[in-house]
Structure 1
Amino acid sequence: MKNGEQDIERILADLAEECLELGKKERPEKRWLEQMYDRFRAANGNMGKGAADALLYRRMYGAEPAKPSDTLKIRYWRTGRHLPVSREQCGRLGKALELSGEESVFLIQGCCDRCDRVFEAGEEDAEYRERLALLEELKREYLEKVHPALQRQLYHSGTDLSRSLRHLYYTDAGSYLHFRETENRGSVGRHISSINYTSEFGRQMKLYGEIPRKTMIRHLLIFASPFVNEKRVSAWLKRLGYLGLDKDHTQTDGSCLDRLLLGYLRLYEECCTGKEPEECRIWLRRSSRFLDGYLEERKNASLRLFYFKALKYWEEAE
């Protein structure tokens, strides 16, 4: 192994360890929610926490708590033990706390790590069409980068390239993982057999339903590779209704995915600026494979960006 590769692996390992250690600390989003809660108490005569929980319950549900345990979930929310399980609960909590519009958006995007809106079939308004247009553009660019030999293979087999998006994506995702050490860009891998994943991927490509932020980041990286950087990924996330990349943002389990990704992208820019796209593509896959393997050894699935459930069965069958 070249010394340069050893240096890169050391930097990535140090980055992973930093994120793993920070992930053990209190979420910054929890402190923010505590500040909103304390502001609410101050605005209502500096009432005690129990009384404030009861008032929030009345504002959220329009009724008095029937028993002490009714306000327990509000206590869990303010202490960071749990988060609202639904968008409806999140919206009600924001209104009860009298959050501003910007604060309400942060509650859903930052604290709950979700998109600001969820779309379903028949609910396609102007904002939906604008967001879908961005995703369609990224998908077109992705298909245009498919290796010519693979394009010919799919063409001769009678398969339209756009209809192969899911399979091409699935194959690419596997190439970023440590158990997929070899690849041939001129041939297509074996097909995914998960019916659930096929349906889920199809809905996500139409922006239907709840799409986790981590999943959307993976989509953006795979579609745009090797032309990715911090600025582009962050801007795309914002346009799609998610929180942009922020080194202090954490996932709901406290893991520091943004910090890891930002460090990874900055190292990529440092190592690959001025190089040919193919060299950059190889760097991304090799470094990601190392990072994925390192995180698996540390038994942390939350930071494994390119690993998702459907790929587990591929790994077991390889």
Structure 2
Amino acid sequence: MSEQTVNNAATSSLPPNPRIQSWKNFYRKIKKNKAAMVGGFLIVFFIIVALIGPYFTPYQPNVQNVMNKLAGPSAEHWFGTDHHGRDIFSRIIHGMSITLYVGFFSVFIGATLGTLIGIISGYYGKRVDAIIMRCMDVLLAFPGILLALAIVSVLGASLNNVIIAVGIFSLPVFARIVRGSTLAVRKLEYIDAIKALGASDARIIFKHILPNVTSPLIVQATLSIATSILTASALSFLGLGAQPPTPEWGAMLSDGRNYMYDAPHVALFPGLAIVIVVLAFNLFGDGLRDALDPKMKN
């Protein structure tokens, strides 16, 4: 028997890599959900467009041509022009990077702070848990859009302040989810064994508890991106988010509401862009929830 044959036989007899096997199982589950696959492909497409799309737009987003204002969709202007004669298609492409930037970074802020707060609350419990959760209950008592509106009103109207506001508004949801998962994990026997061996709290939290709470965290983060995009667009629609002439979809929608009867395309296409992006994240988030739920059958 040749050496290569022996090596091949030895390789084939090795057990599969658990990480690779888990990724295969995850892909197999998510593949069964056609809606989630559509949402996932749309998200990848949007990210690619946000990264390279602005380099290939036919017009600059803020170049005005008042002689061609409120023109309908045509071969020259696919989505028509707005009240300043700016190309709507180019502005939507440039606005996609802004929309995704707000969605991802606001959720990153909320998820990071919420995870830290939730783990501390669930791990230490007692008075620490009571104080933290009552603070989270206060934030949850406010409707999300009103809380974000109040924060932006205090900080001032700008895109960065919208990110901070949306991040704070999403923080309690992540904190409660992580706290619940932490309470379940810390009662496991192997956590008690690790404590008995003298492991520090930081080691237990970041090496043993945090990896076990990532599944619900990922699902909630995906769904929260859709909510964050809607909230940021609503704030821009009210004039508290991105300021003119930034091609943000909510601000574009606000500009187009004054021309709903004469030129409905000015509001139609930014509105459709928001709907499609939010729908993509919701579809993919639902698929993730089914794929990462241990109770679901393979």
Give the TM-score normalised by the residue count of structure 2.
0.32
Structure 1 or 2: larger helix share? Answer: 2
Structure with higher Rg: it is 2
